[in-house]
């Protein structure tokens, strides 16, 4: 049994990429933005893990940078999505589906809700933030 504050292990489909991460809070967040949807092949469900993400994979660990602040980690061998993080490591959103132990995590928030395609909706009761609200919150946290 792992609780809040404990490191959890995880990895990709083929096992070439493995990680340890400590959830900042026992929460699952969904991102409906078009980048996350293309990248994950679905809705990117992640767990906020702050600076704690420790990922290993050698040559199998791919890093894709689309913006000048964020990067996406994936497995070059099997294609699994692993995490989105700040390039300076100050924040990470680790793929919920990549964790070995998903116990105790609660689906709490949906972001970029205004980018969600109309074809589906989650029935869970969640906080819902638009892209503009997320970027405003992000700017506040950075002290900008």
* Residues that bind Zn ion in the complex, under the rule CB under 5 A: 12, 14, 16, 31, 33, 36, 75, 77-78
Q: Which is nearer to Zn ion, 1 or 28 (CB)?
A: 28
Nearer to Zn ion, 77 or 130 (CB): 77
**Shortest Å distance, C-beta 12 to Zn ion:** 3
Quick check: 46 and 93 in contact, CB under 8 A?
Answer: yes
**CB 17, min distance to Zn ion, A:** 5
Cβ proximity to Zn ion, 51 vs 77, nearer residue: 77
In whole angstroms, the minimum distance from the beta carbon of 45 to Zn ion comes to 11
DSSP single-letter state for residue 60: G
Q: How far is the CB of 82 from Zn ion (least distance, A)?
A: 9
CB nearer Zn ion, residue 103 or residue 142: 142
Q: Token digits for 115? A: 């980018």
Q: What is the DSSP letter of 93?
A: E
Show the beta-strand stretches assigned E in the chain: 8-11, 18-21, 27-31, 44-48, 54-56, 61-64, 70-75, 81-86, 92-95, 106-111, 127-129
Cα 82–chain centre separation: 8
């Amino acid at each position: 049994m792992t609780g809040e504050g404990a490191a959890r292990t995880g990895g990709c489909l083929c096992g070439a990429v493995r990680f340890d991460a400590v959830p900042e809070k026992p929460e699952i967040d969904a991102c409906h933005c078009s980048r996350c949807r293309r990248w994950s092949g679905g809705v990117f469900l992640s767990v906020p893990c702050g600076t704690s993400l420790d990922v290993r994979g050698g040559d199998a660990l791919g890093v894709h940078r689309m913006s000048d602040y964020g990067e996406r980690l994936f497995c070059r061998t099997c294609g699994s999505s692993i995490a989105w993080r700040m390039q300076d490591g100050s924040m990470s959103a680790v793929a919920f589906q990549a964790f070995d132990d998903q116990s105790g995590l609660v689906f709490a928030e949906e972001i970029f809700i205004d980018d969600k395609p109309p074809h589906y909706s989650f029935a869970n009761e969640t906080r819902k933030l638009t892209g503009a609200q997320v970027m405003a919150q992000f700017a506040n946290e950075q002290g900008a």
